[in-house]
Amino acid sequence: MLLWFVIIYWVLSVGIGLYAGTKVHTAKDFAIAGRHLPMHIVVATVFATWFGSETVLGIPAVFLKEGLHGVVADPFGSSLCLIIVGLLFAAPLYRMNLLTIGDFYRKRYGHTAETLTSIAIVLSYLGWVGAQISALGLVFNVVSAGEISKITGMWIGSGTILIYTLFGGMWAVAITDFIQMIVIVIGMLFIGHEVSGQLGGVGVVIEHARQAGKFEFWPNLDPKEVIGFFAAWITMMLGSIPQQDVFQRVQSSKTVKIAIWASVLGGILYFLFAFVPMFLAYSATLIDPKMVSGLIDVDPQMILPTLVLQHAPLIAQVMFFGALLSAIKSCASATLLAPSVTFTENIIKPLLIQRLHGARLADHVLLNYMRIVTLSFTLLVTLYAVHSDASIFSMVENAYQVTLVMAFVPLACGVYWKRATNQGALFSIFFGLTTWLSILIAGPEDPFIPAQLAGVTASGLGMLIGSLLPKYIKDPLPEHPHNFLHEHAANLHQH
C-alpha cells in the first residue's frame, strides 16, 4: 500500500510539472521562468531546492556519528550561502538581467573566463545531482521491500523527473517546488510529532543528545582541526554562491526586492527545518538502539527510513516518504536544469554564433538545445550515480570544491572590486585550479591545509597579482558592468 501511495503521488507531481510546461514559449521562460515568479514561489523553490536527499538522509547520518561538529558544511555553511547571496549578490546580479551566472563572467571578464567557469559549474553538479538520484534508488528499493533494485530505482527516478524538467524548465521546477515545500514541511513536522510522542516529548530527545555530546560544534584548539573546520564551512558557504541554481532563483524573481529577501528567507527556513531529520535520526537511538548500532557503520543513511518503516504507522510512513520524495525531486529537477542551461548558454551558444559568423541565434533553436542538453546531462549523471560508491553527504560536499577554487573569487571581486581585470580572473582560475589539483593528486592523504582551502587562497592571490600587474590581456570593455558596490548600497537603502 505504501508503494501505491508513492506511485500516485509521483504521477500527480509529474502531471503538475507537465502542466507548468505550457507556460514555456522561449529560452528565457525555460531558464528563468521569464522573471515572473512572486515572493512565495521563489522562497519555496529556494528552500525546496536545497532541502534534498543529503538533508534527510546524509546530514542525519553524519550527525549521529560526529554531532554538530560534523555538519558544519551543511546545514550551517549552505544556509549561510543563501543568506549571503540575498544580502550581497542578488541585487547587483539581478540588475544585470542575465540568463545564466556564466553570462556574468563573460560581461565582466570575457569569453575565456566565461568558458572556464561555466565548465567548472557544470562539473560541480555531477556530485549534487548524483546524490539525489542515488537517494531515489534507495527510496524505491525501500518502499518496494526490495522488489525494485536501487539501480532500477535510479533510472525510474531520473527518467520521470526528466519528463517534466525537459518540457517545463524553470516554470515546472518552481511550481512543483512550491507544492513539494508544503509536503516537506507538513510531512517532517508530522513524523517529528509522531516520533517525539513515543519518547515523551521533544525535550527528552534534545537532553539525551546534549548529554551524549552531540551539540559540540566548535573544534578543539588544535591548528589542524581549526583549519579543517574552517575549510569544511566555506566549501558550501562560498563554493555554492557561484552556482546556476542559486542564480536562477534570483533571476526568476519578479522584482529585485523579491530576489533579495526570498533568498534570505529560504536560507533561514532551510536552516531551521534541516534539524528535523537530525532530531528524527537521533530519536532512533532511543527507540531502537540495536537497529542503529547495526547500521551506523554499515549504511547510516538507512537508519531514518528503517525507523519509519518499523516504528511508525502507515499514515506516518506515507507522510515521511512523501516528504522525502518531494525533497529529492525538487532538488534533482533544479540541479538537472541549472547545468544544462549553463552549458547551452555559455558553451554551445558561442560556438553556434561563431558558426553563423556572428548572426543572431534564433530563440527556438536555443530552447531546443537546452532540452537536448538536459536529456544528455540526465543520462550522464545517472550513469555517474549508478557507478559511484560515495555517500550522499560526501557527494554533495565535494561537489562545491571546484566552484570554490575557480569561480567564487572572480565573482566576488567582479562585483565588489573595480580594479579586478580579465587578466586577474584568468590568473585566479589558473592558480586556484592548479593548487587544488596538485594537493589532491600529489599531496599527502591528510594535508595540514585542505586542498579546497589552499585552492581558494591561491585563487585570491591570483586575482590580486593578475589585476595589479601591467595588463597583457585586455578587458572586455564594451560589456564592462557599472560600479556594483555603489548600486547595491543604494538598492539596500531603497528597500
pLDDT digits (tens, 9 = 90+) for 444-473: 988 999 999 999 999 999 999 999 998 877
Region of residue 219 (phi > 0: left; psi between -120 and 50: alpha; otherwise: beta): beta
Dihedral sign from CA coordinates of 3, 8, 13, 18: positive
pLDDT at residue number 358: 72
pLDDT at 482 over 60: no
Q: Would you place residue 314 in the very low, low, confident or very high pLDDT band (cuts 50, 70, 90)?
A: confident
Q: How far, in whole angstroms, is CA 78 from its chain's centroid?
A: 8
Task: Give per-residue pLDDT as tens, 231-287.
Answer: 999 998 999 999 998 898 899 999 999 999 999 999 999 999 999 999 999 999 999
pLDDT at 3 over 90: no
Neighbouring residues of 132: CB distance < 8 A, sequence distance ≥ 6: 52, 53, 328, 331, 332, 335
Over pLDDT 90: what percentage of the chain? 47
Q: What's the rounded Cα separation, in Å, for the pair 491 and 173?
A: 29
Average pLDDT over residues 207-224: 92
Dihedral sign from CA coordinates of 23, 27, 30, 31: negative
pLDDT at 493 over 80: no
Q: What's the rounded Cα separation, in Å, for the pair 377 and 488?
A: 35
Cell reading at 190: 508530522
Average pLDDT over residues 290-318: 87
Radius of gyration of the chain (CA): 22
Cell reading at 359: 548572426
pLDDT at residue number 212: 92
Q: Which of 337-346, 402-411, 483-492 has the lowest mean pLDDT?
A: 483-492
Q: What's the rounded Cα separation, in Å, for the pair 297 and 51?
A: 25
CA angle 320, 326, 329 (to 5 degrees): 140
Q: Would you place residue 53 in the very low, low, confident or very high pLDDT band (cuts 50, 70, 90)?
A: confident
Q: Which of 75-84, 136-145, 276-285, 394-403 has the lowest mean pLDDT?
A: 394-403
Of 160, 164, 184, give the one whose Cα is nearest residue 46: 184
Q: Which of 329-333, 341-345, 461-465 has the lowest mean pLDDT?
A: 329-333
Q: In a 3-state reduction of DSSP, which class is residue 338?
A: helix
Q: What's the rounded Cα separation, in Å, for the pair 252 and 72?
A: 29
**What type of residue sits at position 16?**
I
Q: Give 466's strand partners.
A: none
Task: Give per-residue pLDDT as tens, 382-413.
Answer: 998 888 776 665 666 667 899 999 999 999 99
State residue 167 phi and psi, 5-degree precision. Answer: -90, -35
Q: Would you place residue 141 in the very low, low, confident or very high pLDDT band (cuts 50, 70, 90)?
A: confident
Q: Which of 60-64, 297-301, 339-343 has the lowest mean pLDDT?
A: 297-301
Q: Which of 73-77, 345-349, 390-394 has the lowest mean pLDDT?
A: 390-394
Q: Would you place residue 492 in the very low, low, confident or very high pLDDT band (cuts 50, 70, 90)?
A: very low
Average pLDDT over residues 208-219: 93
39-42 long-range Cβ contacts below 8 angstroms, 24+ apart: 39/253, 39/258, 39/261, 39/262, 40/178, 41/174, 41/175, 41/177, 41/178, 42/174, 42/249, 42/252, 42/253, 42/258, 42/259, 42/262, 42/263, 42/266
Question: 145 or 475: which carries more pLDDT confidence?
Answer: 145
pLDDT at residue number 487: 46
Q: In a 3-state reduction of DSSP, which class is residue 37?
A: strand
pLDDT at 127 over 80: no
Q: Would you place residue 355 in the very low, low, confident or very high pLDDT band (cuts 50, 70, 90)?
A: confident
Q: Give 253's strand partners.
A: 37
Is residue 476 within 8 Å of residue 106, measured between CB atoms?
yes
Q: Would you place residue 1 in the very low, low, confident or very high pLDDT band (cuts 50, 70, 90)?
A: confident
Of 276, 305, 72, 82, give the one whose Cα is nearest residue 184: 276
Q: In a 3-state reduction of DSSP, which class is residue 253?
A: strand
Q: In a 3-state reduction of DSSP, which class is residue 424?
A: helix
Average pLDDT over residues 155-181: 87
Q: What's the rounded Cα separation, in Å, for the pair 235 and 414?
A: 20
pLDDT at residue number 76: 95
Q: Out of 129-138, 140-149, 456-465, give the one with best mean pLDDT.
A: 456-465
The rounded mean pLDDT for the chain is 87
pLDDT at residue number 392: 61
- Residue 488, CB-side half-sphere exposure with 13 Å CA sphere: 21
Q: Give 116's strand partners.
A: none
Neighbouring residues of 59: CB distance < 8 A, sequence distance ≥ 6: 71, 74, 75, 274, 277, 278, 393
Q: Give buried/exposed letters for 167-187 (b at 16+ CB in 10 A, else e).
A: bbbbbbbbbbbbbbbebbbeb
Q: What's the rounded Cα separation, in Å, for the pair 50 and 46?
A: 7
pLDDT at residue number 336: 86
pLDDT at 491 over 70: no
Q: Would you place residue 180 in the very low, low, confident or very high pLDDT band (cuts 50, 70, 90)?
A: confident
Q: In a 3-state reduction of DSSP, which class is residue 297?
A: coil
pTM (predicted TM-score): 0.87
Q: Would you place residue 215 in the very low, low, confident or very high pLDDT band (cuts 50, 70, 90)?
A: very high
Is residue 308 within 8 Å of residue 316, measured between CB atoms?
yes
Q: What's the rounded Cα separation, in Å, for the pair 189 and 195?
A: 10
Neighbouring residues of 246: CB distance < 8 A, sequence distance ≥ 6: 81, 82, 85, 240, 263
**What type of residue sits at position 423?**
Q
pLDDT at 485 over 70: no
Only one residue has cell 554538530, namely 68
How is residue 443 annotated by DSSP? S
